[in-house]
Structure 1
């Protein structure tokens, strides 16, 4: 019984983790950013929690990715959390 509970918890954790681990950056791929969690009118925090967008641009945090989508009227999604494998030349400007 105890082993079944542990297996069930590990299965749930694995399912949650897979949702954030999509690596393909093609159109429609990646994880949708949770832009509703941020008040864009107040701006984004300076907390460095990098996300790599499906445009291969490194954003300092998810809020900044949402802000850039709003400003540019785009739908860049989260390719992966953390650094980009092949950063775009634009990455330097998206980290502000």
Structure 2
């Protein structure tokens, strides 16, 4: 029984692990943000879970990337989860 639970948990963890786009890929397509998971009209939670957009802007979380896409009528995708290596000046974040 214990082994079955461990295997199921490992399978669940493996299947739910988010994919990461290759930051050096030539096409720069990234991965689509899961905007359907958020009620964008109500706003986003204030949780810092940074994503780097394909526009090299650092977004505090995926929901905020979705809100920006909606407001600007753009389709910025997730280049990678975490900090941008060279964030755009528009992101307001600079590494010291």
Place the TM-score, normalised by the shorter chain, in its bin. 0.7 to 0.9
- Report how many aligned residue pairs link the two structures: 85
Encode CA deviations 1:40-86: one digit per residue, 9 max, x unaligned.
Answer: 11100110000000000000000000000000000000000000001
Task: Using structure 1 for the length normalisation, give the TM-score.
Answer: 0.74
Secondary structure in 1 aligned to 2:79? strand
Runs of 4+, deviation exceeding 6 Å: none
Structure with the higher fraction of residues in helix conformation: 1
Separation of aligned partners in 1, 2:91 and 2:39: 23
1:39 match: 39
Secondary structure in 1 aligned to 2:89? coil
- RMSD of the alignment, in Å? 2.6
Q: Gapped runs of 5+ residues in structure 2?
A: 1-6
Q: Gapped runs of 5+ residues in structure 1?
A: 1-5
The 3 A distance-change label for structure 1 pair 78 and 26 is farther
Kindly indicate whether the alpha-carbon contact (under 8 Å) linking 1:24 and 1:30 is maintained by their aligned counterparts in 2.
no
1:76 maps onto 2:42 in alignment: no
